[in-house]
């Protein structure tokens, strides 16, 4: 594995998102002096926040899986997640409802889930689920250390015994086809393939290797931090500060100073600050990264961004416990959804929505007697989209709310629209093609074919974040920070994370 040569005593991390925080903790734990520069006044990056009318909004991801990877970041500085972050296991992980009126609770306990599936689709489906669960677990175990949590110097780095095992398990077949081997019920298959939306590829085209995302939420489990998702970056930043990391908020990086040999020797901000450094970790959005570097790497094929989303934050009157923490409202035209937003660049003709109710886990996130909803509708990104969001956004959001009222009557009509972000809104946050999901996980943008975390011509600059390895999502963002640290210091031996953290407390419904 290539590492940064020369001195690496002082490191500047640009960006206090999850990848930057992870990198800072890992580097501090390995004896480096670390300064983190963040343009916002708080940590979090894509895991953002907004406070409106007594509601505390999480503007980024709402599904938290694999907390052992978070624990690894704390452990890097000799700290523990236990005293920093209070996590509750979300059970059921999801409530899925379908256009035919049927519904299913997704549990991560195998016996409970098998019983739910038997009620929903019969005993054969329950047996198929248990076999699928075993396959997903083996898939994750085969992939984690050899692929997900590894740096690659070239495609030849893939040629390992793990590659043969992954191929033998069907990892390079199609995701949907592999799930069909175990489950024939079309509705039930969606539970184990809808995660392809996060990867930005339809299930019938996505590599089965990406079914590890389904392992993370349907097997390893879903969690929620008290205080909302923002509690994760807050806890990580506090731990890093106690470990000696310096944070400079409200600092936008404007220039990377270089020596004659191309190494970055200092980082300058638009406020005029100059921070000398031996190495830099850039976690900025890819367009900003390339602008700071002064170059865009050449590729045989252009980069393909993932689909985007419209997110509406809504306050409502207190609802009953029938409204789960995470609710998936599947439309009838499931396969058409992917054609609409990925191939044809239009909004879904038959919407499928994710409705998250964070107040199920922490009622303090809303005013007394109120609940908070996060409603996400997948949408085309601005590279392929045919939608003029300046004209269409208001009407589209009204349609989203009408769909929620119709499919979730318990929510009622007392809806208070608090905040909306559409693809144009993501673009204003410097996200390429107006998508918060970065680059799609096509074969040509996977593993060593994804934009690398090393940069030719800038030997002491390393990248981290969703647009580089290993990819999009909370666990992978954290891992990208660790991989960046490895590029600077060399690899530290670790074990494969397991499912449940010892710090998880009560279960939520």
Which pLDDT tens digit goes with each residue over 360-378? Answer: 999 999 999 999 999 999 9
User: Considering the domain boundaries, does residue 163 fall inside one?
Assistant: yes
- Do 257 and 336 fall into the same domain? no
Residue 345 shares a structural domain with residue 424:
yes
How would you list the strands of the sheet with 222-225, edge to edge? Answer: 64-65, 222-225, 87-90, 504-508
Q: How high is the pLDDT of residue 302?
A: 87
pTM of the model: 0.95
- β strands within 380-473, DSSP E: 415-421, 461-463
Dist. CA 168–CA 45, nearest whole Å: 38
For the chain, the distance separating the N- and C-terminal CA atoms, rounded to the nearest angstrom, is 45
List the structure tokens of 197.
């939306």
Q: Provide the 3-class DSSP secondary structure of residue 96.
A: strand
Is residue 496 one of the residues assigned to a domain? Answer: no
Domain assignment of residue 393, yes or no: yes
Interatomic CA distance for residues 26 and 483, integer angstroms: 9
- Tally of structural domains, the chain: 3
Q: Within this chain, do residues 350 and 364 fall inside the same structural domain, yes or no?
A: yes
State residue 155's pLDDT score: 76
Assign residue 67 the CATH number of its domain.
Answer: 3.50.50.60
Is residue 277 located within the same domain as residue 385?
no
At residue 199, the pLDDT reads 84
Given this model, what pLDDT does residue 379 score?
97
pLDDT tens digit sequence for 139-160: 999 999 888 999 988 877 776 7
Tokens of 487: 């590029």
**Do 317 and 388 meet the contact criterion of CB atoms below 8 Å apart?**
no
Q: How many CA atoms lie within 13 A of 3 on its CB side?
A: 14
What local confidence, expressed as pLDDT, does residue 501 receive? 45
Q: How many residues does the chain have?
A: 509
Output the pLDDT for position 503: 44
Ranges of residues in the chain whose predicted pLDDT is under 50 = 500-506, 509
- Per-residue model confidence (pLDDT) at position 429: 94
Domain boundaries, position 426: 305-438
What per-residue confidence (pLDDT) applies to 496? 62
Residue ending a domain, choose from 438, 473, 500:
438
My answer on whether 377 and 336 are in the same domain is yes
Residues 202 and 271 placed together within one structural domain of the fold:
no
3-state secondary structure 449-478: HCCCCECCCCCCEEECCCCCCCCCCHHHHH
Q: Which of 490, 505, 484 is nearest to 11 (CA)?
A: 484
Tell me the residue ranges of DSSP E strands in 270-384: 274-276, 279-282, 308-317, 326-329, 353-356, 370-379
Contact of 348 with 341, CB cutoff 8 Å? yes
Cβ-proximal residues to 402 (8 Å cutoff; 6+ apart), any chain:
none
Beta bridge partners of 356: 326, 374
417 is a domain residue:
yes
């Amino acid at each position: 594995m290539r590492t940064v040569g020369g001195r690496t005593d002082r490191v500047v991390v640009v960006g206090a998102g999850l990848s930057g925080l992870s990198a800072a903790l890992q580097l501090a734990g390995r004896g480096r002096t670390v300064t983190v520069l963040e343009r916002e006044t708080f940590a979090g990056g894509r895991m953002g926040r907004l406070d409106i009318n007594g509601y505390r909004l999480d503007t980024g991801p709402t599904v938290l899986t694999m907390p052992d990877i978070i624990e690894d970041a704390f452990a890097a500085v000799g700290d523990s997640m236990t005293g920093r972050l209070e996590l509750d296991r979300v059970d059921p992980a999801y409530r899925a409802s379908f256009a035919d009126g049927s519904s299913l609770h997704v549990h991560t306990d195998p016996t409970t889930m098998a019983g739910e599936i038997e009620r929903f689709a019969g005993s054969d489906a329950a047996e198929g689920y248990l076999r699928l669960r075993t396959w997903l677990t083996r898939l994750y175990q085969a992939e984690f250390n050899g692929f997900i949590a590894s740096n690659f110097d070239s495609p030849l780095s893939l040629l390992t015994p793990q590659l043969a095992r992954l191929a033998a398990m069907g990892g390079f077949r199609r995701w949907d086809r592999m799930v069909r081997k175990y489950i024939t019920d079309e509705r039930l298959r969606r539970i184990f393939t809808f995660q392809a939306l996060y990867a930005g590829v339809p299930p019938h085209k996505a590599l089965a290797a990406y079914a590890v995302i389904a392992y993370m939420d349907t097997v390893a489990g879903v969690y929620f931090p008290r205080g909302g998702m923002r509690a994760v970056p807050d806890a990580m930043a506090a731990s890093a500060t106690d470990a000696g990391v310096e944070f400079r908020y409200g600092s936008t990086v404007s220039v990377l100073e270089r020596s004659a040999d191309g190494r970055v020797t200092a980082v300058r901000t638009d406020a005029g600050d100059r921070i000398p450094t031996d190495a830099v970790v850039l976690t900025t959005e890819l367009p900003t990264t390339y602008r700071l570097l002064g170059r865009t790497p050449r590729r045989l094929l252009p980069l393909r961004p993932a689909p985007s989303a419209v997110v509406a934050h809504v306050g409502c009157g207190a609802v009953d416990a029938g409204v789960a923490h995470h609710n998936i409202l599947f439309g009838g035209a499931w396969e058409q959804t992917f054609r609409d937003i990925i191939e044809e660049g239009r909004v879904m003709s038959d919407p499928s929505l994710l409705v998250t109710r964070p107040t199920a886990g922490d009622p303090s996130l809303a005013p007394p007697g109120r609940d908070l909803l996060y409603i996400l509708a997948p949408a085309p990104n601005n590279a392929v989209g045919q939608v003029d969001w300046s004209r269409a956004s208001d009407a589209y959001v009204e349609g989203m709310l009408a769909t929620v009222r119709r499919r979730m009557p318990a929510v009622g009509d007392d809806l208070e629209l608090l905040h909306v972000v559409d693809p144009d809104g993501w673009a204003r946050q410097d996200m390429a093609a107006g998508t918060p999901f970065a680059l799609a996980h096509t074969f040509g943008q996977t593993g060593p074919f994804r934009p690398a975390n090393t940069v030719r011509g800038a030997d002491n600059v390393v990248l981290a974040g969703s647009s580089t390895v290993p990819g999009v999502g909370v666990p992978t963002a954290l891992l990208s920070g660790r991989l960046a640290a490895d590029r600077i210091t060399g690899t530290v031996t670790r074990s494969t994370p397991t499912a449940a953290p010892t710090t998880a407390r009560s279960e939520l419904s």
